[in-house]
Chains A and B, each alone.
Chain A
Amino acid sequence: MEMRSYMARKTAYLAITLFAIIAFNFFLFRIMPGGPENVLVPKGSSEFIKDAVRARFHLNDPYPEQFVIYLKQVFTLDFGISAARWKNTNITEGLPQPIFNTVLLVGTGTVLAIWLGVSLGKFAAWRRGKPADTVGMAFALTFYSMPTFLFALVMLMLFAGELKWFPLNGAYGRGYEDMSILEKLASRLYHMVLPVIAFTIEVMAEYALIMRNSLTDVLTEDYIVTARAKGLSNKAILRDHAMKNAMLPVVTVAAISIGWVLGGDIMVELVFSYEGLGMLTWEAVNLRDFPLLQAIFLIMAIVVLIANFLADIIYMYLDPRVTV
């Protein structure tokens, strides 16, 4: 019963926040200097496109009416016309491909990062104060302090520019459309290696730091001493007693840091010219394609919101003590 009401409350908050994000996205592009006309209607385009954009965004109507129309459009996944990136065509048609590419990169990278980060954190925490801990944490701290684009740039220079082991840019090779499925897979994998490594190491550093801190905390608790006194093996203490509690902060932080993860993803995609959402953001900014930018921002915000919601639910299952 309690769990159900907790879920209901969380869902209600989700709905309210979702509405707030859509409203924020709507007003952000309208209250800025120069007004919506300046922001949404592309400069230097022909009168035909200008009229089309004005009609598409109903810029001649009062704001409340515009907002209702915008809400309707968002819920029917209609993001309007791209001003410059895909000249005068519907944004919704162009989005699936970049989203797929980004999900591939971020998905692989995040899974690897969590697995490696948790392992590294565990390794360092168990050897607290020893050289292995110092080296591991110095490694993690350095990568945590390093902007992702810098690390990606160094990797690009070393492995693509100097050694020429990997391609310099793109999510797949030339002539991708004509390849067989196996070739497509190979081409994708070959192009994904460097971006995934760059992304994974950057995100991994954060998880390693949190895991190490959380586990060192848990290892000083009394029940660990009790377990030790019972004569349990080190492995059993770590696996059955310490890790279960130490994982909780990792789950929370994993949810909160999705905004951070997205930033890392944008940088990695930018450096490797990987055709995903991050690259698209950059193109939209450079071309001053505000309708597209608006759509991308909305998608990113909603993804983060849903990820937070899921993390809350997972947290509740992991930690039954959570009070409602």
Chain B
Amino acid sequence: MAVCNTEMKKLQSCERSSRFSAKAFGVVLFAVAVLAAAPLLGLMLAAPSLDGSDMRAHSFFAATVANAGSDQTVWIGNQTVLNATLTTSDYGWSELYYNWTFDDNGTHNRSGRVVPYSFSTTGIHIVTLTVTDPTNASSTDEVVITVVPKPVTGSNRTLHEGIDVLTITFNASLSEPKDLIVSYEWNISTKAGKLLAHLSGPVIQYSFNKSGNYTVTLTVTDSNGMAASKSVFVRVLPKPLFIVAHWIFTFIELPILLIAAYIVIGRWRKGSGLITKTDVEKARLQYKTFKKDWKIFKANRLGFSGLLILFMFLAMAIMAPVLSTVPNPDKHEEPNVPDPIDPRNLPPLQQNPLPPSLKKSIYTGWTHPLGTDHKGQDIYSLTLYGSRASLIVGLIATAISVILGALIGLGAGYFGKITDEVLMRVTDFFLVLPWFPLMIVLMAILGQKFFYVVLVIGITSWPSTARIVRSQVLTVKERQFIVRAQAIGASDGHIIKTHILPNVLPLIFANTVLLIAIAIFSESFLDFFGLGDPNVISWGAMLESAYEQEAFKGGAWWWIGAPGVAIVGMVLSFSLVGYAVDDVLNPKLRRR
């Protein structure tokens, strides 16, 4: 808050230097006197000091030296504290008399060692401190208090492009002293320091039409010629990218709609009905194989129990609002209702997590069957809601990774030669990159958004899929029906679509299920590392907060246990289902 006008600064420093030279002169004189007198004094005082007489009587050089503290600059109306504690004296401070003289609207006197005072006029005020000791000797010192007008600009603001109105009104009419201010100057500049606009007047309007960080500086000048300025920061956040804001639509709903439209239009152009007899026959055959596979799958006890656990998690995710013991966060209309899931509105009731209990908590008024965390958020409900994040990340990241991997594997395996060589070198390269550190680096650069978590996990886990797809394509490609299709002049696109894909995709299905497990694993890792989206409830983030609040020291086992069991349960069940599906689809493995 270093507010100062240049003219005054010069004045002050000039005054200070003159005072300084006077002081310095005194010090030199004093030193010379002491040096000259020391041997003499030593001789004189040797005898009396032996009989232990009062030492204070001899120190007649050290008088009381007043010190009024350092110069200050204050806004008008704000209290300034004058402090004389640096005064040096041989007497105790309670024996001294301190008197302050102010020249503010006439002369005022105040006494005391520490004196608060509010100035009523702006300008440069010189305050004189007089310290009188019991022997009536006195010492004075001066301090310069610069009183400047007080600019009022309002608080810092954050605006969202596309949501908020970007024209802001700044009102400085509450600045003091109200009647004496002669000019209001506004400088609007970017954070880098580029001046955008210069406006004047007590109330102004400005439109921030680009995202970025801005500094708005108000300078007020009053009739005494005193000026002061204050800055306020305006942050305009950019409009989020359409893909980021509507990523579920972009990555799931839109592709499904496009594929459906493609199929319907294709059928319609051929002139056949939407469901033909061949479709019915195909569906019947598929159902038959499915029934056979299901029988084998059901015989695999581990896989079957894994599937049951998965259904349990799915139910948890869908019915979280019904199952949770605390109110549903989605249904809150009033902003001030305490909410055990959204920490923003929680009352600050306790620092320690509550242990599990089936009774209603006297602190929060809700039941916490698995206890709470340090903010009083219900662990049971958080665990329920956390399954949503894990499932979404697991499924969508895997979809991204399988699509990427399948495309690259298909290209490499089907076209062979140079395409194969290049694509496989690229795949090997990404296979060699350590993917945990790679995910960390990407997330650190991109920023903490849920969408990026999904994307980063998706694009770091495709190489293994690409390898598997390529090897499958290589075996399918040599089969007779492909050669025949090529012989009758089928195009590459047609062969891939109707002959290769249907034969390859089921085989990589098992790998896909295992990838989901790894994606969930990675998501919890990123959250624990502190790189997840802070606004999404997830198990990794719960564990991170438990670790940060040192739950392991206090023995809050429920805080680590509940999300921990959930992660292990979900990853384990996906792995078990994956191995079981592998068992069904790859009969070669079945003899094990």
Tell me, rounded to whole Å, the shortest Cβ–Cβ distance linking B425 to chain A: 8
- Find chain B residues with CB under 8 A from A270 CB: 528-529
Query: Of B351-359, B370-378, B564-572, which stretch is located at the interface?
Result: B564-572
- Find chain B residues with CB under 8 A from A271 CB: 547
Query: Of B104-112, B253-261, B268-276, B552-560, which stretch is located at the interface?
Result: B552-560
Q: How far is the CA of A313 from the CA of B258 in the complex (A)?
A: 49
Would A256 and B444 be within 8 Å (CB), given that A145-B572, A263-B525, A281-B437 are in contact?
Answer: no
- Find chain A residues with CB under 8 A from B571 CB: 145-147
Q: How far is the CA of A160 from the CA of B547 in the complex (A)?
A: 13
- Find chain B residues with CB under 8 A from A281 CB: 437, 440
- Find chain A residues with CB under 8 A from B543 CB: 149-150, 153
- Find chain B residues with CB under 8 A from A258 CB: 434
Structural contact, A217 and B432, CB atoms closer than 8 A: no
Q: How far is the CA of A305 from the CA of B438 in the complex (A)?
A: 14
Does B501 interact with chain A (Cβ within 8 Å)? Answer: no
Would A29 and B552 be within 8 Å (CB), given that A20-B429, A304-B433 are in contact?
Answer: no
Q: How far is the CA of A290 from the CA of B546 in the complex (A)?
A: 27
Does B381 interact with chain A (Cβ within 8 Å)? Answer: no
Q: How far is the CA of A93 from the CA of B433 in the complex (A)?
A: 25
Q: How far is the CA of A128 from the CA of B592 in the complex (A)?
A: 9
Complex interface residues of chain B between 262 and 297 (CB less than 8 A to chain A): none
Structural contact, A149 and B560, CB atoms closer than 8 A: no
Tell me, rounded to whole Å, the shortest Cβ–Cβ distance linking A280 to chain B: 11
Tell me, rounded to whole Å, the shortest Cβ–Cβ distance linking A197 to chain B: 16
Does A211 interact with chain B (Cβ within 8 Å)? Answer: no
Tell me, rounded to whole Å, the shortest Cβ–Cβ distance linking B329 to chain A: 26
Query: Of A108-116, A172-180, A239-247, A293-301, which stretch is located at the interface?
Result: A293-301
Query: In the complex, which of the residues A33, A217, A286 contacts B530, with contact meaning CB atoms closer than 8 Å?
Result: A286
Q: How far is the CA of A266 from the CA of B530 in the complex (A)?
A: 13
- Find chain A residues with CB under 8 A from B552 CB: 153, 156-157, 160-161
Query: In the complex, which of the residues A21, A262, A293 contacts B441, with contact meaning CB atoms closer than 8 Å?
Result: A293
Chain B residue at smallest Cβ distance from A303: B434
Q: How far is the CA of A141 from the CA of B577 in the complex (A)?
A: 13
Q: How far is the CA of A267 from the CA of B553 in the complex (A)?
A: 19
- Find chain A residues with CB under 8 A from B555 CB: 157, 161-162
Does A249 interact with chain B (Cβ within 8 Å)? Answer: no
Chain A residue at smallest Cβ distance from B433: A301
- Find chain B residues with CB under 8 A from A153 CB: 543, 546-547, 552, 560, 564
Structural contact, A293 and B444, CB atoms closer than 8 A: yes
Tell me, rounded to whole Å, the shortest Cβ–Cβ distance linking B528 to chain A: 5
Q: Would you give the 0/1 interface string for A151-174, flagging 1 where the beta carbon is closer than 8 Å to chain B?
A: 001101100111000001000000
Q: How far is the CA of A39 from the CA of B441 in the complex (A)?
A: 11
Tell me, rounded to whole Å, the shortest Cβ–Cβ distance linking A19 to chain B: 11
Tell me, rounded to whole Å, the shortest Cβ–Cβ distance linking A205 to chain B: 11
Structural contact, A157 and B551, CB atoms closer than 8 A: yes
Does B383 interact with chain A (Cβ within 8 Å)? Answer: no
Query: In the complex, which of the residues B432, B444, B592 contacts A216, with contact meaning CB atoms closer than 8 Å?
Result: B592
Does A308 interact with chain B (Cβ within 8 Å)? Answer: yes
Does B591 interact with chain A (Cβ within 8 Å)? Answer: yes
Structural contact, B525 and A149, CB atoms closer than 8 A: yes
Q: Would you give the 0/1 interface string for A223-258, flagging 1 where the beta carbon is closer than 8 Å to chain B?
A: 000000000000000000000000000000000101
Structural contact, B428 and A17, CB atoms closer than 8 A: yes
Structural contact, A150 and B551, CB atoms closer than 8 A: no
Q: How far is the CA of A19 from the CA of B425 in the complex (A)?
A: 13
Tell me, rounded to whole Å, the shortest Cβ–Cβ distance linking B443 to chain A: 8
Chain B residue at smallest Cβ distance from A18: B432
Does A220 interact with chain B (Cβ within 8 Å)? Answer: yes
Structural contact, A154 and B560, CB atoms closer than 8 A: yes
Chain B residue at smallest Cβ distance from A299: B437
Structural contact, B437 and A149, CB atoms closer than 8 A: no
Structural contact, A297 and B438, CB atoms closer than 8 A: yes
Structural contact, A296 and B572, CB atoms closer than 8 A: no
- Find chain A residues with CB under 8 A from B311 CB: none
Would A308 and B572 be within 8 Å (CB), given that A32-B446, A300-B437 are in contact?
Answer: no
- Find chain A residues with CB under 8 A from B572 CB: 141-142, 145
Structural contact, A17 and B575, CB atoms closer than 8 A: no
Query: In the complex, which of the residues A20, A142, A162, A263 contacts B436, with contact meaning CB atoms closer than 8 Å?
Result: A263
Q: How far is the CA of A290 from the CA of B524 in the complex (A)?
A: 23
Does B102 interact with chain A (Cβ within 8 Å)? Answer: no
Q: Would you give the 0/1 interface string for A256-291, flagging 1 where the beta carbon is closer than 8 Å to chain B?
A: 101110110011001100000000011001101010
Structural contact, A150 and B440, CB atoms closer than 8 A: no
Does A190 interact with chain B (Cβ within 8 Å)? Answer: no
Does B117 interact with chain A (Cβ within 8 Å)? Answer: no
Structural contact, A147 and B445, CB atoms closer than 8 A: no
Tell me, rounded to whole Å, the shortest Cβ–Cβ distance linking B465 to chain A: 14
Query: In the complex, which of the residues B428, B434, B440, B568 contacts A259, with contact meaning CB atoms closer than 8 Å?
Result: B434
Complex interface residues of chain B between 573 and 592 (CB less than 8 A to chain A): 575-576, 591-592
Would A262 and B568 be within 8 Å (CB), given that A141-B575, A149-B525, A270-B529 are in contact?
Answer: no
Would A154 and B564 be within 8 Å (CB), given that A161-B552, A281-B437 are in contact?
Answer: yes
Complex interface residues of chain A between 23 and 75 (CB less than 8 A to chain B): 24, 28-29, 32-33, 39
Q: Would you give the 0/1 interface string for B417-443, flagging 1 where the beta carbon is closer than 8 Å to chain A?
A: 000000001001101111111101110
Complex interface residues of chain B between 526 and 548 (CB less than 8 A to chain A): 528-531, 540, 543, 546-547
Does B521 interact with chain A (Cβ within 8 Å)? Answer: yes
Q: How far is the CA of A263 from the CA of B546 in the complex (A)?
A: 21
Tell me, rounded to whole Å, the shortest Cβ–Cβ distance linking A265 to chain B: 9
- Find chain A residues with CB under 8 A from B438 CB: 297
Query: In the complex, which of the residues B436, B441, B553, B591 contacts A168, with contact meaning CB atoms closer than 8 Å?
Result: B553
Would A146 and B568 be within 8 Å (CB), given that A28-B445, A168-B553 are in contact?
Answer: yes
Tell me, rounded to whole Å, the shortest Cβ–Cβ distance linking B518 to chain A: 9
Q: How far is the CA of A293 from the CA of B555 in the complex (A)?
A: 34
Chain B residue at smallest Cβ distance from A158: B552
Complex interface residues of chain A between 190 and 229 (CB less than 8 A to chain B): 213, 216-217, 220
Chain B residue at smallest Cβ distance from A129: B592
- Find chain A residues with CB under 8 A from B529 CB: 266, 270, 282, 285
Would A161 and B446 be within 8 Å (CB), given that A149-B525, A262-B436 are in contact?
Answer: no
Does A126 interact with chain B (Cβ within 8 Å)? Answer: no
Does B152 interact with chain A (Cβ within 8 Å)? Answer: no
Does A144 interact with chain B (Cβ within 8 Å)? Answer: yes
Chain A residue at smallest Cβ distance from B579: A141
Structural contact, A267 and B551, CB atoms closer than 8 A: no
Q: How far is the CA of A33 from the CA of B238 in the complex (A)?
A: 13
Structural contact, A150 and B445, CB atoms closer than 8 A: no
Query: In the complex, which of the residues B432, B521, B551 contacts A301, with contact meaning CB atoms closer than 8 Å?
Result: B432
- Find chain A residues with CB under 8 A from B406 CB: none
Q: How far is the CA of A39 from the CA of B524 in the complex (A)?
A: 25
Chain A residue at smallest Cβ distance from B431: A256
Structural contact, B530 and A145, CB atoms closer than 8 A: no
Chain A residue at smallest Cβ distance from B574: A145
Q: How far is the CA of A266 from the CA of B425 in the complex (A)?
A: 28
Chain A residue at smallest Cβ distance from B552: A157
Does B395 interact with chain A (Cβ within 8 Å)? Answer: no
Structural contact, A21 and B551, CB atoms closer than 8 A: no
Structural contact, B521 and A161, CB atoms closer than 8 A: no
Interface-centre pick from B432, B436, B438, B553 (highest chain A CB count, 10 A): B432
Structural contact, A150 and B567, CB atoms closer than 8 A: yes
Does B517 interact with chain A (Cβ within 8 Å)? Answer: yes
- Find chain B residues with CB under 8 A from A308 CB: 432
3 A-B pairs closest in CB distance: A263-B436, A157-B552, A259-B434
10 CB < 8 A contacts A-B: A16-B425, A17-B429, A21-B433, A147-B525, A150-B543, A154-B560, A162-B555, A256-B431, A267-B528, A304-B432
Extra pairs beyond A153-B543, A153-B564, A161-B552 (13, CB < 8 Å): A21-B432, A28-B442, A145-B572, A149-B528, A153-B546, A153-B547, A154-B564, A161-B553, A161-B554, A258-B434, A263-B435, A266-B436, A266-B440
